[in-house]
Structure 1
Amino acid sequence: MILIADSGATKTDWVFGDSVTGSQPIHTQGINPFHLTEQEIRLIISEQLVGQLPFSPENISHIFFYGAGCTPEKSAGILRSLNDLFPSCHAIEVQSDLLGAARALCKNQKGIACILGTGSNSCLYDGEKILDNIPPLGYILGDEGSGACLGKRFISDCMKRQLPPELLEGLLAEFNLTPSLLLDRIYREPLANRFLAGFTPYIYKYRKNIQVHHFLIRCFDDFFKRNVYLYGKEWPVSFTGSVAWFFQEEINESAGKSGFTTSLYLKNPIQELARYHFKNI
């Protein structure tokens, strides 16, 4: 039996089973080794995952964990935790969420794989491995097109009167905020990226407003220009993540302007990752 995980900033999606049709899901909080200690990671896996499994951990033979922040330098704590909690497992692989996205989106074909969720990332994939990756740099220096970046730019444009004043008034009312509370939440409290990404449903609600539409196209233009352009235009571009899923129309418009061809959109890569591993294991 195999266990597969796709972990983002907010949540981790797991599936376990012997086949795609027989696999079952489990959800836990996000596991990012940049934000959590090894002790915290072990506690999440132990209490939120192992505690939900309807069988002994000894039944798991292979584990494939894909996560945000899982660089070679940072993934050792996750690997140790999984080894300790699944001591009978034959093979455990901890990889970046970007490789997981590429395997889910492109399978064994060459292409450009992109993540647009709370954060953003992209790569050129050859069907087996990542050939090139423009560093995302996080929501302060980069993460163009992500939920955090959309929220950041939308609030900035509203407060600097680049967007109609009723949009800011509606946002403050809907989220029970004042301008002062809004800025305090961004600058004085932790996890500002998740807070900013939380405004994307509000932006989505007004995406047909002509000024909001132009705002979205500018944001996705920046994503293509700063993250995808250097891979070349020969290969199709595919996307996973909630922002990509809900803003497909605007992304396609921006891609067409930039000369790119879009292919597959996945709201969540976990089922396609399961399909990939059950085929290749």
Structure 2
Amino acid sequence: MNRLIADSGSTKTDWLLIKDSGETVGVKTKGINPFFRTSEDIYEELKNDLQPVVGEPESIFFYGAGIINEERGEVIRKALLQLFPVAHVETHSDVLGASRALFGKQSGIACILGTGSNACLYDGEAVVTGIPPLGFILGDECSGAVLGRKLLGDYFKNVMPADIQTLFASDYAVTQAEVLRRVYRADRPNKYLAGFTPFLSKHIDEAYCRELVTASVDEFFKRNVIQIPDAGQFDLGFVGSVAWHFRAILEAVASVHGFSNPRILKGPIEKLQEYHSTNE
């Protein structure tokens, strides 16, 4: 049976086709979030960018940001069934995907630190406790979007040290007017804000950058991880580009909060391949 697995965030979607022969084919498309997309426009995009590459898979397992209930999942399921009408299609939240990738059939606290952020308690079968992420305005602590938001705020308010401002200005020719337009009037402001996070990774040896990231990771723990009842009793894991690139800081802050050796994956897709190869 040819299986197609997808991990979708707000920025990009990773697809992995596993053929009967064991051969795999990877594809990348734009992020697919049902809060901002319709079934029709998802169908039109994937008709050109995905279908010619993967052919006719018999089963599809889609994990994505924004799938908070069956209604949102149905937006994506409808588009996929238009493309692959005889396939078995399942749509699940990105946190369930992260949980299965990190822990398989074991329990644990699964966290996502990417363009957005999230945390949940997984019992080996399902997500049993979730902390609402609330988006980059009210929440999404330590996400790429919030790190970018903090960077830009510090830059324009002159909170950022002068030497770091010079570095930032040389990397990004931004104006207040353009930033305000992109954040408040254009589509996908979270993706735009997250685009500034690589500056922190590039200059992580600078005290300002390291302190900003450390404080943000600590905020994520305080407002998400330790809000889960009896959090210290469970294994802890992280998925996402922010977690991966700042894993040394993440491990240090985790230790302060009583967690040792958290599992950290850049992305879940390969571990999801393992999960679906052994649990079908």
Counterpart pick for 1:143 among 134, 140, 143: 140
Q: CA deviation at 1:36?
A: 0.8
Aligned to 2:263: 264
Aligned to 1:73: 71
Q: CA deviation at 1:77?
A: 1.8
Aligned to 2:27: 26
Is structure 2 residue 9 aligned with structure 1 residue 8?
A: yes
Is structure 2 residue 134 aligned with structure 1 residue 133?
A: no
Secondary structure class of the residue paired with 2:224: helix
Where structure 1 has 5 or more consecutive residues not aligned to the other structure, the ranges are none
Where structure 2 has 5 or more consecutive residues not aligned to the other structure, the ranges are none
Deviations 1:75-119 (A, max 9, x none): 112112222221222x21100111001000111111111110000
Return 172-181 or 133-142, whichever deviates more.
172-181
Q: How many Å separate the matches in 2 of 1:135 and 1:3?
A: 29
Q: How many Å separate the matches in 1 of 2:252 and 2:180?
A: 32
Deviations 1:52-78 (A, max 9, x none): 22x4x1xx2211010111122211121
Q: CA deviation at 1:21?
A: 5.0
Aligned to 1:233: 232
Q: How many Å separate the matches in 2 of 1:18 and 1:271?
A: 14
Say if 1:61 and 1:160 are closer, same or farther in 2 by CA, change over 3 A.
same
Deviations 1:184-212 (A, max 9, x none): 33333222211110111111111111232
Is structure 2 residue 117 aligned with structure 1 residue 120?
A: yes
Q: CA deviation at 1:227?
A: 0.6
The within-5 A match list for 1:17-166 is: 17-18=18-19, 22-53=23-54, 55=55, 57=56, 60-71=57-68, 72-89=70-87, 91-166=88-163
Contact 2:200 2:210 in 1 (8 A): no
Q: How many Å separate the matches in 1 of 2:21 and 2:196?
A: 34
Q: How many Å separate the matches in 2 of 1:20 and 1:44?
A: 28
Deviations 1:163-190 (A, max 9, x none): 3122223222312223443333333322
Task: Name the amino acid aligned to 1:13.
Answer: D
Contact 1:19 1:278 in 2 (8 A): no
Q: How many Å separate the matches in 2 of 1:82 and 1:188?
A: 30
Q: How many Å separate the matches in 1 of 2:179 and 2:84?
A: 43
How well do the aligned residues superpose, as a CA RMSD in angstroms?
1.6
Say if 1:165 and 1:42 are closer, same or farther in 2 by CA, change over 3 A.
same
Contact 2:254 2:262 in 1 (8 A): no
Say if 1:19 and 1:140 are closer, same or farther in 2 by CA, change over 3 A.
farther
Say if 1:168 and 1:19 are closer, same or farther in 2 by CA, change over 3 A.
farther
Secondary structure class of the residue paired with 1:252: helix
Task: Name the amino acid aligned to 1:49.
Answer: L
Q: How many Å separate the matches in 2 of 1:176 and 1:270?
A: 35
Q: How many Å separate the matches in 2 of 1:263 and 1:35?
A: 32
Is structure 2 residue 249 aligned with structure 1 residue 273?
A: no
Q: How many Å separate the matches in 2 of 1:241 and 1:86?
A: 29
Contact 1:151 1:200 in 2 (8 A): yes
Secondary structure class of the residue paired with 1:75: helix
Secondary structure class of the residue paired with 1:44: helix
Aligned length: 276
Aligned to 2:242: 243
Q: How many Å separate the matches in 1 of 2:11 and 2:21?
A: 25
